Each structure stands twice: as C-alpha cells, then as structure tokens.
Structure 1
Amino acid sequence: MYLIGFVLLLGPLVTVHELGHYLVGRLFGVHAEAFSVGFGKEIAGRTDRRGTRWKLSALPLGGYVQFKGDMNPASVPDADSVTEASEEDTSGNFQNAALWKRALIVAAGPVTNLIVTIAIFASLFAIYGKPVIEGVEDSREVAVFAENSPAQAAGIQLGDTIVAVDGAPMADFDDIKAVVAIHPGERMIFTVERDDDRIDIPVTTARDSRTDRFGNTSQIGFLGIGPGGGRYVFEPVGPVQSIPMAFDHTWDVLGMMVTGIKQVLTGERSIKELGGPVKIAKYSGEQMSLGLVAFIQFAALISLNLAFINFLPIPALDGGHLAFYAAEAVRRKPVGPQATEWAYRTGIFLVLVFMAVVTVNDVVSLPVFGPLFGS
C-alpha cells in the first residue's frame, strides 16, 4: 500500500512539475534533450520527432528536464555548449535564451505545482462545500472550556469573541485552531471583544501530544476552548467563490509550513519532525486507505511542499537558478563559471545532507525500529 500510494502521489506531481518547465521552454523555442520521471538508470523510454528523450528512470524521487546547453540534469550551464552555440547555432539553446525567458522557464515548475494545489482545493470546495459549525452564528465566540483550559486560566471568559491572535485577524474557529496548533507551549496574544471593548490577553498554549489511528504522533498547541454548536456541516459553495477560498486556504497552509520550518531551525521543534521520501510513502499509503478525498487532499499538500522547496534559493534547485538570474540582472552579466561551480557543489551537498537527515528520521520512526531507538 505504501509503495502504490507513493507512486500514485509523487509520479503525477513530479510529471506536472517538469511539464511546466518543458511547456514554457517549448513556448520559447528552447529544445529539451531529455524529460525524465525519476533519476538514475533509464528503465524505459522513447525519443519523439523533436529529438526529446522521454524516459522513466530507476530512482523515483523526482525528475528533470534537460535542455540543450545544460551540462547535467541539475541544469548547470555547459560553458562549452554556450560557446559553441554562440558561434555556430544559438537556436534552441537554453543558456542563450533571454534572461527573462530562462527565469520564466525555471519558475514554471514550482508555479505549476502551486496551480495544482489551488485547483485541488478549489475543486473540493466546489464539490463538497465549506465546513461550518452547525447552529453557531460566530464560531469565534467562546462557548465552552475544556478541562485545564490554558485560555480560561489566562482570563478569557465565556462569551468572549476572539478576533485576532498575535495581531492576525481570525475569520472563524478553524483559523484559531490552526494558528494555535502550530505554536505548542508558546505565549500568544489573543485579542477578544467583550462588552464592546477589545482586550489583549496573553495566553501560553499547552503542548498536546496527539496520535492518529496509524500511530503517527505529533505535538500541537492546545487552547482548551470550543464554539459550541453541533458536528460540522458543509455549506454549498459556488465554483467562482471556491477559487478565492482555495487561494486563502493555500496561503494559510503555506504560512503553517514556513512557521514549522522556522521552529525547527530555531530549536522550538525537533528536527525529527522533518520527513522525507519514506515518510511520504508511509503517509501516502495511509491516506489512500482513508479514501480518494483524503488522498487527493494529501496530494495537494505535497504539491505545495514541492513548490515551496523548489523556490528556496539553494543552487541546484529552481530557486537557486532564479537567484543566479537575479544576480545576472543586477550585474548585467552572468555569475562567473568558478563561482557558479562552487555554488552548485555547495547546493548539491546541502540537498544530499538534508535528504540523508530526513531519510534517517523516516527509517528510525518506522514501527519496526521504534523499540531499538526508543522512539
């Protein structure tokens, strides 16, 4: 189940990412020499009439489009190719394309993943509607307290309406729950409306350990409040209305991702919470077992992750290429070959170290290794 879920998840997402690069490159007349789903040894493939080799490779952890003028699949410029192309034939050479064209070709991959995420969320809103709490006019109003509620202990009262957290406006209870969840054990400022007054109340959230049906444990923030009312119901949403809702939801999820990474870097969260391909495969199988909708929602999250990671300014990733193009635009000339080579070596090293760390995290977190490592 894990393997099937992993292939069904990552295969299409990698393919649409690389198709973004390929289609924009083709629009600008840049020739693609190879289009690969996966890395390493070719398993199967064919060459089309334009001379592009379409192939499936052995290591299913990504993919690439290698354009004419690239030295390798990481799109490191081939200086010899650029020189030869400038002297003989610049047609179709990526490195000889205008700077803005190269930037758009590189950005097209993660942008395509971003579009896929928004399209999935918009489709789900249009089909199923927006979840709202039945019988509650304003779900931001505190109707019940849980036992040992940090909010109640800090001075929040029944009937208070939480309008902002740390200065950020809250639209509904789900907004409050989401922002609290990613700040376990942290002091936050809750702005409440009470008797026509606005009051700022500092609350230190509790740290709550939650384990799902598959045994996955996570640390989330806990406030100990509820809006009252019944089980969630779905309010119909039109196709047009679903699009801005999808943009808002994507932005909220992206903000949670950025906050989580910042917390890992500052030591507020353990690096063990980072996951890699093994954990993605595990979660893929688990979500697939819950049904099509759960699996598609998970695919949207992974697609957003791919977009975010590829926009990071790390050489060998799309964001690294864009950083070089920004430097080229400022300097009015490309970054020198020696600096480029060392930057790409450093970037590839960082990516490999990150992959090693998250893979170790993944393997150690598997149930079979839990007793050995005390996890």
Structure 2
Amino acid sequence: MENLIAFFSVIVPFLAVLTIIVFVHEMGHYLVARWNGIAVQVFSIGFGPELVGFNDKNGTRWKVCAIPLGGYVKFLGDMNAASVPDHKELGQIDPQTRSTLFYYKNVWQRIAVVVAGPIANIIFTFIVLYALLLGLGRYTLEATIDGVEPQSPAEIAGLMSDDKVVRVDGYLIRSFGDFQRIVATSPEREIAIEVERAGKNVSLNVVTGSTERTDRFGNVSRIGYLGVSRTAEQEDVIFVRPSPVEAVFITFDEMVLIVDRSFKFLGELILGKGDVDQLGGPVKIAKISGEAASIGIFTLINLMALLSLNIGIFNLFPIPMLDGGHLVYYLYEVVRGKPLSPKIQEMGFRFGLFLVLSLMVFSVFNDVF
C-alpha cells in the first residue's frame, strides 16, 4: 500500500505538470492557426489510443490519449502529428477547401503557427513567475560577503569581507540568494563579478570550483563553489513584495538567467565538459515533480513554469520533428523563394525522429542507471 501511495505521489504531479505544459504549447499552435483560417483536424493531449474526446463545431477532434507524454495539433492535409504534408490527400482536396489548409498558407503564416507553441510556453512561464512573485513576495538577504575561506577561489580572485556583490556575469544581484544561485549553476567556470568596495565598484574574474550537494531528498548534484559566507541574522532578512512594474523586470531577468545557464550547460555537454548525470529525462522529471509537490503547491507551480520555459526553448532547436526544424525549412523558403523539395524534407524528418528518439532513450537510461 505504501509503495502504491508513493507511486501516485510521483506520477500524479508529473502528469498534471506535463499535461498543462503540453496543453499550453499546443494551444499556442491552435489559436494562431485558427486566427489564420487554418482547418485543425485534431487537438490531442497524449499519443496512442483515444481515451476520451469530442468534435467541436469547426470539425476539430479534441481528445485525450493513453500515452500522456506529449501532444499535438494536426492540420487538415497533414500525414501525421509532425505536420508532414500528405501530398496524396492534398491532391484530392477540392479547391474551395485548399484555402483552409496549412500547406497552402503563405510562408509567414506558417512561421507564425510554428513559433506560436514555444512562444506560448515562454509567455506562460512569465505569467506564472510574475504572479508568484507579486502574490507571495520573497525574503531577501543583502548580497554582502561576511567571510572568505582561505585558499578558496574567492580569496584567490581577490574577493574580500564586506564586499557587496552588484553584478555577476552582467546580471543585477538583488540578494545573496541571487548570488548563490548563479555561482551554484557555474561549476568550474569563469564568472565576472562586480562588487562595491569602500564606495567604489571593483570588477573581478573568478574561476569557481565545484562540490557535491545533497538535497533533502538525497539527490546529489555538482554545483559551483566559491568559498564565501554570509551570516543571516534575523534583522538582516527582509520581506520584499515588488511593485507590478518592478516585478516585470525581476521576472524577465530570472528567465534570461535560466535560459543562459541552460545553454551554457548544454554547450559544456557538447564539448564533453558537462556532468551528464545532471541531464534528466521523463523519469527524473517525474521524480522531481513528486518532490516539489511534497514541499508545497507553489513549489510545484514554480517547477511547472521552469519546465515550460525549457520545453519552449528546446522546441526552437533547429531539429526536424521539432518546431525549430519546421522553422528552418520555412526560413529557407523565405530566402530562396521556394520550399525545400519534399524528398529532402522527408529525409530531415526521419533524421530528426532518430535524433529525438535517441535523446529520449539516452535520458531514460541515464535516469534509471
């Protein structure tokens, strides 16, 4: 019984988070498609056999399927969920219906539909993080260094006690927590730190070390290490609820930082310098979702926003099968004035499918073993 409860405590939050993210993404595609007069045949959450569904007045089949790991919007005239055109079906459609087909829309309309999914995920992330910041506020601690460990990366670089951290890698530091987060996500990497010292701004370049951290759930991760400390006296901790305008800038800065660190991590993986154990797939995401839910609903909502941002950015990668791959095809059409040949596009989709499936298999293997 305990194992069953533990299973559902992981799988339920995971499916809830994934379903919302997928719905937001596909709704972006759907809305922009409808605004451009495109006939949408299917709006699906999940793949495989249909569990439940209905047809709306526009002829779209809305359904939930048995394999809840994704979703898709299928346009009239598409061969499959990847929006590969079915040229045989296209040739049989009457001329009056052609004006509603995605395939026959101009290239800018197709580009708008393709980028709408990732943009919807990015906007969703902004709205959620912004609402959490305005609604909950946050406790902050001034980013002033109290102590520097001997022979640490901080001391070697010249950081001193009473230095107030102003910026790191160009990002404005509003609290010691901001400083810690950037350092933690920069293991064994050079970072540029600007501090205020005796009324003057001093710029330093610091090469961080790395150390292992074990969280409350026993998960071990490699994080950046600097060797500075901050004593948190009760009177130093301040509750801050930013104004609606200030919250916009804070939320935007947080999202830019997340994207920047994600790309740096990916770059290090490609160069063979990154820690592949930190790469997570569905199993790891499910585990983290369950852990977040056990902390509280707002932690789970925050995680959902961060995953939505990463999924939106990932879908813009120029890989056939992903939205970014379609975008590359359409940008080629803009430049050359004609689309890629169907044969080349089909080869690209097959390569993209192989790449995406390989990544999924690797990530699942990495999660389990």
Whether the 8 Å contact between 1:85 and 1:93 is mirrored in structure 2 is no
Whole-Å separation in 2 of the counterparts to 1:192 and 1:244 = 21
Q: Which residue of 2 aligns with 1:21?
A: 29
One of 326, 338, 346 as aligned partner of 1:333: 338
Q: Is the partner of 2:344 in helix, strand or coil?
A: helix
Question: Which deviates the most, 83-92 or 10-19?
Answer: 83-92
Deviation per residue, 1:298-321 (Å, 9 max, x gap): 111111111011111111111111
Q: Amino acid of the residue matched to residue 28 of structure 1?
A: N
Query: Could you tell me how far 1:169 is from its partner in structure 2?
Result: 5.4
1:358 to 2:363 alignment: yes
Whole-Å separation in 2 of the counterparts to 1:344 and 1:98 = 21
Whether the 8 Å contact between 2:51 and 2:63 is mirrored in structure 1 is yes
Query: Could you tell me how far 1:78 is from its partner in structure 2?
Result: 2.1
Whole-Å separation in 2 of the counterparts to 1:142 and 1:241 = 25
Query: Could you tell me how far 1:48 is from its partner in structure 2?
Result: 2.0
Provide structure 2 residue ranges, at least 5 long, that are not aligned to the other structure. 1-8
One of 205, 208, 229 as aligned partner of 2:208: 205
Whole-Å separation in 2 of the counterparts to 1:206 and 1:337 = 50
Query: Could you tell me how far 1:61 is from its partner in structure 2?
Result: 0.9
1:273 to 2:278 alignment: yes
Q: Which residue of 2 aligns with 1:349?
A: 354
1:78 to 2:86 alignment: yes
Q: Which residue of 2 aligns with 1:66?
A: 74
Q: What does 1:13-162 correspond to in 2, within 5 Å?
A: 13-85=21-93, 87=95, 89-133=97-141, 139-146=142-149, 149-162=152-165
Specify whether residues 262 and 86 from structure 1 end up closer, same or farther in structure 2 by C-alpha distance, changes over 3 A only. farther
Deviation per residue, 1:246-303 (Å, 9 max, x gap): 1221111111211111121122222222111111111111111111111111111111
Specify whether residues 272 and 2 from structure 1 end up closer, same or farther in structure 2 by C-alpha distance, changes over 3 A only. same
Percent identity (aligned): 40
What's the RMSD between the two structures over aligned residues? 2.1
Question: Which deviates the most, 43-52 or 121-130?
Answer: 43-52
Whole-Å separation in 2 of the counterparts to 1:186 and 1:239 = 35
Whole-Å separation in 2 of the counterparts to 1:88 and 1:49 = 19
Q: Which residue of 2 aligns with 1:322?
A: 327
Q: Is the partner of 1:38 in helix, strand or coil?
A: strand
Provide structure 1 residue ranges, at least 5 long, that are not aligned to the other structure. 134-138, 365-375
Q: Amino acid of the residue matched to residue 267 of structure 1?
A: G
Give the TM-score normalised by the residue count of structure 2. 0.90
Q: Which residue of 1 aligns with 2:249?
A: 244
Whether the 8 Å contact between 1:82 and 1:96 is mirrored in structure 2 is no
Give the TM-score normalised by the residue count of structure 1. 0.89
Q: What does 1:178-257 correspond to in 2, within 5 Å?
A: 178-195=181-198, 199-230=202-233, 232-257=237-262
Q: Is the partner of 2:188 in helix, strand or coil?
A: coil
Aligned residues: 359
Q: Which residue of 1 aligns with 2:306?
A: 301
Q: Is the partner of 1:311 in helix, strand or coil?
A: coil
Query: Could you tell me how far 1:193 is from its partner in structure 2?
Result: 4.1
Whole-Å separation in 2 of the counterparts to 1:359 and 1:188 = 32
Q: Is the partner of 1:75 in helix, strand or coil?
A: coil
Whole-Å separation in 2 of the counterparts to 1:12 and 1:77 = 28
